[in-house]
Amino acid sequence: MSQKIRVGLLFGGKSAEHEVSLQSAKNVFEAIDQDKYEVTLIGIDKTGRWFKQEAAAYLLEADDPKRIRLNVSSSQIHLDPAGGGSPLVVSKVQPAASGPIDVVFPVLHGPFGEDGTVQGLLKMADVPFVGASVLGSAVGMDKDVMKRLLREAELPIPRFLVFYRRQRDSIRFAKVAEELGLPFFVKPANLGSSVGISKVHNEQEFFPALDEALRFDHKAVIEEAIVGREIECAVLGNDDPAASALGEVVPCREFYSYEAKYLDENGALLKIPAELDAATARRIQDLAVQTFRVLCCEGMARVDFFLKASGEIIVNEINTLPGFTRISMYPRLWEASGLPYPALIDRLIELALERSERDRSLKTRYLES
């Protein structure tokens, strides 16, 4: 029997999406083929400390999305590049018995995990990892930069404005409403899972919404509210990405909030596949792949769209590390496309190893042959 591939499952983190990450990690760990992979669970607490977790008790209140939390162990670890560029996960006392990790599967959402920070650390340590690399992760996380690149590529996006914290007292509600119309959304530029997002209908709601967004980031994106169906597409691949079947989110609340996504199974109706004519579905899938490429993504991403009654398609955003919870769209869309959860994990790991091998072929020393 061939040796198992050693996978480091990295989860938790300092982001406001910490609990979502724990739910995603639980699902990935339960779905991964234990006969093919030897999994090392690596939990990051809310202060940024890394711990090697025991499979029997790495989460507390694991079945309750509102109370789930990391069971912090006493085995604090760090990444240590060993001979031949093969990293060891080590404790303060001794190396892990399993030895080198072959590939890391980051199941981290939001800042300090989905924004290129962890990706840069792993790349410096020469560790293969699942998902987008540094640039794609950073661009995909920053809604301001993301939208400007999509606009430059002439892809359809909502109208938007961006303000920094230092501009807070000079922002005028009337000017924003004149440019974007009412209602509009106020969002932190660098966050996901609908954390810190507010829908603003009037001036009384505006500054509380702005302050809420600026609690989570130094800049806020203010975006027009698009009236239309919410359609999502999963993308998978490196140089030749493929688009999944499409899904539709029908929120039961005013918008697809954090609670609707992760806490309330009845917060939204997910239609998979979405009821669309073939031509419209193909246009959305093509736009998903274009968005993936324009934003320098690799491995995986979920691209979210609005479909207006007129047939116009608007790119809302991309998520380079989409949720893997039991009600998350990304794995469900691929399952509907004929790729079940365990096979999806296999493919993501294959893509990570392929990219690492490709990157190692690049010359890094100019003056040496």
Averaged pLDDT, 327-356: 96
Give the pLDDT score at 275: 97
Residue 88 clears pLDDT 70, i.e. is over it: no
Residues 48-78: tens digit of each pLDDT: 989 988 888 888 888 888 889 998 866 777 6
State how far the Cα of 178 lies from the Cα of 182, in Å rounded to an integer: 8
55: DSSP letter: G
* Dihedral sign for Cα atoms in the order 214, 319, 358, 42: positive
Cβ 128 vs Cβ 352: under 8 Å:
yes
State how far the Cα of 149 lies from the Cα of 145, in Å rounded to an integer: 6
DSSP letters spanning 288-335: HHHHHHHTT--EEEEEEEEE-TTS-EEEEEEESS---STT-HHHHHHH
Which amino acid belongs to residue 176?
V
Residue 131 clears pLDDT 90, i.e. is over it: yes
Give the global pTM. Answer: 0.90
Burial 163-187 (b: 16+ CB within 10 A, else e): beeeeeeeeebeebbeebeebbbbb
Give the pLDDT score at 98: 53
Q: CATH 3.30.1490.20 residue ranges in the chain?
A: 159-224
Q: What is the CATH number of domain 5-129?
A: 3.40.50.20
For residue 140, the SS3 value is helix
Neighbours of 251 (CB within 10 A): 14
Query: What are the φ and ψ backbone dihedral angles of 43, each rounded to 5 degrees?
Result: -100, 135
Give the pLDDT score at 194: 74
Give the pLDDT score at 17: 85
Select, from the ranges 48-52, 258-262, 338-342, the one with the highest average predicted confidence (pLDDT). 338-342
Work out the mean pLDDT of the chain and round it to a whole number: 89
For 159-224, CATH number out of 3.40.50.300, 3.60.20.10, 3.30.1490.20, 1.10.10.10 equals 3.30.1490.20
Residues 311-335: tens digit of each pLDDT: 999 999 999 999 998 788 999 999 9
Which residues lie closer than 8 Å to 229 by C-beta, 6 or more apart?
A: 248, 250, 274, 306, 307
Residue labelled with tokens 């005028």: 172
Cβ 237 vs Cβ 339: under 8 Å:
no
Q: CATH 3.40.50.20 residue ranges in the chain?
A: 5-129
Fold of domain 229-359: D-amino Acid Aminotransferase; Chain A, domain 1 (3.30.470)
State how far the Cα of 185 lies from the Cα of 314, in Å rounded to an integer: 15
Strand pairing class (5-12; 37-44): parallel
Nearest-10 crossing angle of helices 329-336, 341-360 = 100
Give the pLDDT score at 268: 74
Residues 158-213: tens digit of each pLDDT: 999 999 999 999 999 999 999 999 999 999 998 865 788 999 999 999 999 999 99
Q: CATH 3.30.470.20 residue ranges in the chain?
A: 229-359
Model confidence band, residue 254 (pLDDT cutoffs 50, 70, 90): low
Averaged pLDDT, 143-161: 98
Give the pLDDT score at 110: 85
